[in-house]
Amino acid sequence: MEQHRMNRRSFLKYCGGIAATLGLSQAMVPQIVRALTTDNRPPVIWLHFAECTGCSEAFLRATDPGVADILLDVLNVTYHETIQVACGEKAEHNRDQTVADYAGEFICVVEGAIPTANNGAYGMIGGRTMLDIAQTVIPQAKHTIALGTCAAYGGLPAAAPNPTGAKGVKDAIGVSTINITGCPPHPMNLVATITSYLLNNQMPALRSDGRPYFCHGDTIHSGCPTPHGCMEGYNCKGPRTYNNCHQQAYNEESWCIQVEHQCIGCSEPGFWDAHAPFYNPMWVPMFSTYRPTAIPHEDQKTASCNRCHGGGIFEEEEAVQSDPRRFQQAMHREHEIRLMTNRSCANCHPEAPGGTYEQIIDD
């Protein structure tokens, strides 16, 4: 390991990134350095339940510093099922021994939802249910961090019809959690949360839903740099998604909207159901063909409903709209997303693939 440890310059740069994430002055970097190099850092036990391991994969793909530096040198992770060398009974023994040795002192990071139906029978590890492991280990932690939307709110495993009874940690076993959400969350948000604890001997300020303000205090839309123009009218969930993706590019490279993909609101409770459908059958060709040549909403004054509907009620509704752009965005959401249709699209967008010129007969 010694030859793979990060050099001082990389470590200082990383500490500067932690300070920025927490909204702290760069003058705090020396204190962050001391906090992350002390021998008194609490051990971290990282549990995996019903999930895709995507949250860990986000760490595994960290490049500067690398995963070994973060997990071992910065966070003091002593148990992690995915990357540890031990396996089988030896791994289980290591986990239980750490819990026994550091009861009331360790930080427990939970990745994944907890199946609760039929006494947890739908999720097993080493002959024990995930529910049983959670009930045994988590209450002994000083703090529990639910990492990712699955651990916080149930995520995909809890999506309808949820046959396994999957739930977030708090709902499953009644233990208060610090929820760092996203699918996956940014690795820096976890490191910053633990660093805040080391600096202040307490976890960062939390919203009522258990999420830290520093990374979930503002909507993506409120600070989005709109690298390809605002996609609010194109099923982007940024206006109601609280995360710091726009401030923390993954590996300092990119994030969803930067690659011209709308936000799907992956950090929000119940997003798999509440935000569906993420796409409709015409979305991809429509996006690649129409949008690059679209007239910006702010340059349009109004939109015509009569082209498709022919009835006066729609024009009357349009006439009372104080913000034509908002009205057009609502039209896009209704026609492209909720109705899952491309009927009559060619009346306004002749180049839309699959769009028709038909007249819609309203009841």
Catalytic option among 48, 80, 216, 221: 221
Walking along the chain (363 residues) 10 residues at a time, the average pLDDT comes out as: 55 72 71 72 90 87 59 73 81 90 94 97 94 97 96 96 97 97 90 82 91 93 82 80 88 81 91 80 53 47 53 54 61 54 65 65 51
At 334 the pLDDT is 56
Q: Which of 266, 305, 308, 345 is catalytic?
A: 266
Per the CB < 8 A criterion, the answer to whether 65 and 42 are in contact is: no
H helical segments located in 174-296: 187-200, 213-216, 220-223, 271-274, 283-289
- For the question of residue 55 being annotated catalytic, the response is yes
Interatomic CA distance for residues 30 and 36, integer angstroms: 10
Confidence at residue 338, expressed as pLDDT on a 0 to 100 scale: 46
pTM of the model: 0.74
From the candidates 108, 183, 305, 345, give the one annotated as an active-site residue. 183
Outline where DSSP puts E strands in 254-332: none
Other CB atoms within 10 Å distance of the CB of residue 138: 22
Active-site annotation holder among 15, 108, 230, 308: 230
Peptide bond preceding 281: is omega within 30 degrees of 0, i.e. cis?
A: no
Active site residue 15: no
Domain ranges (residues) in the chain: 2-216, 283-347
Q: Which fold has domain 2-216?
A: Rossmann fold (3.40.50)
348 is catalytic: no
Burial status of residue 27 (CB atoms within 10 A of its CB: 0-12, 13-18, 19 or more):
exposed
Annotated active-site residue 215? The verdict is no
Active site includes 230?
Answer: yes
Is 224 an annotated catalytic residue? yes
Report d(CA 18, CA 32) in Å as an integer: 8
Count Cβ atoms below 10 Å from residue 291 Cβ, excluding itself.
14
The catalytic position among 236, 305, 308, 345 is 236
Q: What is the pLDDT of residue 74?
A: 63
At 1 the pLDDT is: 33
